[in-house]
Homo-oligomer: A and B are copies of this chain.
Amino acid sequence: MTTATTSRLTPASGAPGAGSASHGRRFTGAALKEIGFPLGGIGTGTISLGGRGQLRDWEIFNRPAKGSNLPLCFFAIWARPEGGEAVARIMERRLLPPFVADRGLSPWAVASLPRLEEATFTGAYPTATIRFHDSTLPVEAELEAFTPFVPLDDRVSGLPVAVFLWRLRNPSSRPVELTLAYTQMNPVGFDGVTHLPRGRRHAMFGGNLNQWTDEGAIRGLRMSRPGFDPTHPGAGTVAVATTWRDVTFSEHWERSGWFDDIQNFWDDFRADGRLPDRAESTVSPAGETDAGSLGLRVRLAPGQTVELPFVLAWHFPSLVNYWGPFETLPGQSVVGGRMTNWFATQWPDAWAAAKETLERLPDLTARTRAFRDALFDSTLPPEVLDAVSSQMSIIRTTTCLRTADGRFHAFEGCDDNAGCCPMNCTHVWNYAQALAFLFPQLERTVRLTDYQFNTLPDGEQKFRTMLPLQTGVTWNYVAAADGQMGTLMKLYREWLVSGDDAYLRSLWPQAKKTLAYAWQLWDPNRDGVMEGEQHNTYDIEFYGPNTMCGALYLGALRACEEMARHLGDPDAAEYARLYASGRARYDRELWNGEYYEQHVRMPEPHEVTKGKYPQRHPPAIREGEDTPRYQYGPGCLADQLLGQWFAHVVGLGHLLPEDHVRAAARSIFRYNFRPSLVDHESCQRAYAVNEEGAVLQCTWPRGGRPRYPFPYADEAWTGSEYAVAGLLMYEGEVEEGLAIVRAVRERHDGIRRNPWDEFECGHHYARALSSWSLLLALSGYRYSRPAQRLRFAPPAAAGEFRSFFTAGTAWGTVRIAGRQAELRIEAGELTLRRLEIGERAHDFATPAVIRPGHPLTVSL
């Protein structure tokens, strides 16, 4: 049935062009099956563009909804060559197997209307392009879809819209008359997850209103539901709009049973490409909603190309906490708590969002493409660009939220129908780097939440956030050693990126307390080594010294030392002392000549604090067992130098002896990276199988595997794999790092998994935002806004180097060829006192200010 074309990691060789698919990763045939390319802004929810051109996974109703395909939402074309027969097609590639459904493939997905023969999907997040191939269609068709994405501009990048630009070309010698129509079901009142086997008919619906609107510059359908409970997560509006002037529309389809509505639409459209063009503004009866269609009409001369713009906007402002978390003190549940999404503070309804998008469409399109091109027109290897670009989409999936107060919040990931592991989990977000560099102002809001809301008076930091913040409720669960320490490194990063001393100063007292908390619980003897019960990202506690939590502790000490020095806090010296002591002892005790081990110790009963909290998992300390379960002991842990990796990201250098760090990174590659898993024996979850390559969380090359190793030890997480790859790159082991990145991305090939959804404990798992570090590592990027210092040091110095970068309030590209470096700023303004390229540096006598259109060229 389908050609099992393997997707390619190499960039496409297709002809370049303004909107053409000259960048990104290509897929066709069977590899289109699993593709779901997220469209939507930050905190708006998403609709995914399927590989065949279908819209899938409608996750705009304030919760994830994998597999939820809204009925009656599709593009269709009607085209008639002059003097010829009209052709009508659904603008999707033909369906891909399996074709199984208990009552047949759904009429509400117009499954039985004819589709196009083949498609080539090119994804270069934030834009996706699908070129369709069909021998019966008298025009060539290409769809470009995106939601505006401009680094640092969280407003434009937070539009609750999807833009669809259809480029149609008439390759024949006869004029072609055509209509391209989009149909949308009015979904107001939908709960987001219920299966709708009867299409637009369900008890949830009724009183839905579609209104034809023509405002001169733009026109389209406004969808609403007057009088519907505004606090319902499905309350809101939808808009389907265009700037195109020659249109035809059906405000609402025939309100009839069986398949009459579809039949009526299709017959009408099929006949002449014209729809009824009748505006009535009446509401749907109880128990059903309406579908409406907007068609754009054009007569294409021979050889002519046209670009037909559609904007789909949505606006469901009511965010209700359905997720908990559930460990709370009696009477403190936050479930049911109501919030408003941030986008509602910017646009009053979907029509307003559509209108702004359409009014600014040339600009928003250009800026989005400029970012994409800045990112992809790079000498970085394609697998790195693929990993970086595809995973930064996580920021704009349902994993992330933005509340009306402007704050950014995030789950760890999304189960099929619910956010997973709320909220702002400090240890998972240790790995995430993309947001801090693309939208640092949003990342900074999370630190506010960490230190203003989740830090108790004694310095214990709750590693999950309870929403709404206004309740003042904190999570009733143990502190996470890795999360709490890593968050101090994040604070340092936010300060480095922003240079905002006031921000730093305001959080510093709380931040200090969270460091000091380590001396209560984890390092009571204050020697810079954590021995106590260290809850961590594996959802268990490590007992005894280990560099997994330890290197984050060392990194936190170094970061705090730097911040303290900047702020004139005398505790800097104590942080330095602890760091030196810890560094020496970790290295002395845990280095085994190849990597860092864990020294497991049985805790004293009074050290075990976890019993204070609700039990989510079975205890590690068992009657009759003389060692705690769920440790790694002499194992080679993939994350053993996570803190070191983070230290590189923020330019803190080597936390442990450089030769040991490098050797440990090599050992992780040697022992934990498996080019094939056919012989892998794991009793845990599977993220890579069969002949797939992956980095295992832990291996025991020297024996000593505990009988019950920590959960997840035998798994492979893309977020950790990227961090390992990044560490290898930072340590100069570029090829090894790339081998890992390739393995990860080849697992996400459209046949096996969705390239735009790396899941772990949930889809779009935040840990995978660690892939941003690949770009940083391969650029040798370091930036300090306080010092106005920027550094690049691409490891492979030969030939030209080109890369995207962000720096505080500016973003652009760097080009290095020989001793020549050129910095181009696309947006914002960058002031530099010092530019370093590898080992060479240029100090500007007066600070250089770089602005768009005025590149800076320096010879070093």
Q: Contact between A753 and B107 (Cβ–Cβ < 8 Å)?
A: no
Q: Which of A245-292 contact B (CB under 8 A)?
A: 256-260, 262-264, 266-267, 270
Find chain B residues with CB under 8 A from A114 CB.
678-681
Is the Cβ of B763 less than 8 Å from the Cβ of A102? Answer: yes
- Identity of the chain B residue whose Cβ is nearest the Cβ of A66 in the assembled complex: B102
Tell me, in angstroms, the Cα distance from A725 to B739 when the chains sit together: 56
Is A762 in the interface zone, CB < 8 Å from B?
yes
Instruction: Tell me the complex Cα distance, A759–B262, Å.
Output: 23
| Set B1, B113, B714: member contacting A112, Cβ < 8 A | B714
Interface residues of A in 105-157 (CB under 8 A from B): 105-107, 110-114, 117, 136
Contact with B along A675-708 (1 / 0, CB 8 A): 0001111111111011100000000000000011
Chain B residues closer than 8 Å to A256, beta-carbon distance: 618, 708
Q: Given A113-B682, A263-B708, A266-B683, A104 and B760 touching (CB < 8 A)?
A: yes
**A853 at interface, CB cutoff 8 A:** no
Residues in B neighbouring A266, C-beta threshold 8 A? 681, 683
Identical chains in the assembly: 2
In chain A, positions 1-22 with a C-beta closer than 8 Å to chain B are: 1, 4
Contact string, A756-794, partner B, CB cutoff 8 A, digits 1/0?
Answer: 010111110000000000000000000000000000000
A533 interfacial by beta-carbon distance below 8 Å: no
A319 at the interface (CB under 8 A from B): no
A420 is an interface residue with CB less than 8 A from chain B: yes
A630 B66 Cβ-Cβ under 8 A: no
A617 beta carbon closer than 8 Å to chain B: yes
- Nearest neighbor of A117 in chain B, beta-carbon distance: B678
Q: Which of A92-100, A158-166, A178-186, A835-843 contacts B (4 or more CB under 8 A)?
A: A92-100
Taking CB atoms, residues of chain B closer than 8 Å to A683 are: 107, 110, 112-113, 259, 262-263, 266
| Contact assessment for A94 and B617 in the assembled complex, using a CB-CB cutoff below 8 Å | no
Most-contacted residue by chain B among A111, A690, A759, A760 (CB, 10 A): A690
Q: B754 and A100: CB pair below 8 A?
A: yes
Known contacts A103-B685, A263-B708; decide if A1 and B751 are in contact (CB<8 Å): yes
- Is A415 interfacial (CB-CB < 8 Å)? yes
Cα distance A4–B4 in the bound complex, in angstroms:
8
- Binary interface encoding of chain A residues 491-526 relative to chain B, with 1 for a CB under 8 A from any of its CBs, else 0: 000000000000000000000000000000000000
Say if the beta carbon of A101 comes within 8 Å of chain B: yes
- Given A1-B690, A708-B263, A711-B259, CB of A106 within 8 Å of CB of B685: yes
Q: Does A565 contact B (CB under 8 A)?
A: no
Q: Knowing A99-B753, A415-B102, A751-B97 touch, does A689 contact B762 (C-beta < 8 A)? A: no
Residues of B within 8 Å of A686, CB to CB, are 95, 99, 104-107, 111-112
Task: Give min CB distance, A786 to chain B, whole Å.
Answer: 41
Residues of B within 8 A of A757 (CB): 100
Of the residues B1, B102, B416, B682, contact of A752 by C-beta under 8 Å: B1
Task: Report the separation of the CA atoms of residues A66 and B102 in the bound assembly, to the nearest whole angstrom.
Answer: 9
Residues of B within 8 A of A414 (CB): 102
A685 touches B104 (CB 8 A): yes
Assuming the A-B contacts A1-B751, A415-B103, A715-B104, are A689 and B95 also in contact, with contact meaning beta carbons closer than 8 angstroms in the complex?
yes
Query: How close is A640's CB to chain B, nearest CB, in angstroms?
Result: 21
Let me know if A690 and B94 touch, CB within 8 A.
yes
Quick check: B685 and A107 within 8 Å, CB to CB? yes
A679 to B747, CA, bound (A): 35
Partner of A690, one of B95, B102, B415: B95
CB-CB under 8 A from A23, the residues of chain B are none
Instruction: Mark interface residues in A565-593 (1 if CB within 8 Å of B CB, else 0).
Output: 00000000000000000000000000000
| Bound-state Cα–Cα, A234 to B110, Å | 38
Give A706 Cβ to nearest chain B Cβ, in Å.
Answer: 10
Q: How many residues on chain A are close to B (CB under 8 Å)?
A: 75
Asked whether any CB of chain B lies closer than 8 Å to the CB of A629, the reply is: yes
Does A33 lie at the interface of the complex (its beta carbon under 8 Å from any beta carbon of B)?
yes
Instruction: Check if A629 sits within 8 Å of B759, measured CB to CB.
Output: no
B691 in contact with A1 (CB, 8 Å): yes
Does A94 contact B689, Cβ atoms closer than 8 Å?
yes
Q: Is the CB of A420 within 8 A of B102?
A: yes
Binary interface encoding of chain A residues 703-723 relative to chain B, with 1 for a CB under 8 A from any of its CBs, else 0: 000011001001100000000
Chain A 65-114 residues near chain B, CB threshold 8 A: 66, 88, 94-95, 97-107, 110-114
| B629 pairs with A260, CB closer than 8 A | yes
Give Cα A762–Cα B110 distance, bound, in whole angstroms: 19
Q: For the complex, is A34 an interface residue (Cβ under 8 Å from B)?
A: yes
Compute how far the CA of A257 lies from the CA of B540 in the bound complex, rounded to whole angstroms: 12
Which residues from chain B contact A707 at a C-beta distance below 8 Å? 263-264, 267
Q: How far is the CA of A257 from the CA of B615 in the complex (A)?
A: 11
Q: For A136, A270, A680, A689, which residue has the most chain B Cβ atoms within 10 angstroms?
A: A689
Cα–Cα distance between A136 and B679 once the two chains are bound (Å): 10
CB-CB under 8 A from A99, the residues of chain B are 686, 689, 747, 752-753
Asked if residues B103 and A761 are in contact (CB atoms below 8 Å), the reply is yes
A753 and B98 form a contact (CB under 8 A): yes
* Cβ–Cβ < 8 Å partners of A110 in chain B: 683
In the complex, the answer to whether B34 meets A104 with C-beta atoms within 8 Å is: no
Which of A101, A117, A136 has the largest number of chain B CB atoms within 10 A?
Answer: A101
Q: Which residues of B contact A136 (CB under 8 A)?
A: 679
- Check A759/B101 contact, CB under 8 A, given A1-B751, A257-B618, A681-B270: yes
A708/B4 contact (C-beta < 8 A), A97-B752, A680-B114 known: no
Q: Which residues of B contact A690 (CB under 8 A)?
A: 1, 94-95
CA distance A468 to B94 in the complex (A): 46
Rounded to whole Å, the gap between the CB of A657 and the closest CB of chain B is: 35
A71 to chain B, nearest CB (A): 13
Enumerate chain B residues within 8 angstroms of A708, measured Cβ to Cβ.
256, 258, 260, 263-264
A258 CA to B110 CA, complexed, in Å = 44
Which B residues touch A88, using CB under 8 A? 681
Please list 30 pairs of residues, one from A and one from B, whose beta carbons are closer than 8 Å in the complex, sorted by A's number.
Answer: A33-B98, A34-B100, A66-B102, A98-B753, A99-B689, A99-B753, A100-B753, A102-B416, A102-B762, A102-B763, A103-B420, A104-B686, A104-B761, A105-B685, A105-B689, A107-B684, A111-B685, A111-B686, A112-B682, A112-B689, A112-B714, A112-B715, A114-B679, A258-B617, A259-B684, A259-B711, A260-B629, A263-B708, A264-B707, A266-B683
Known contacts A102-B759, A104-B761; 5 additional CB pairs below 8 A are: A88-B681, A98-B753, A107-B685, A112-B680, A259-B683
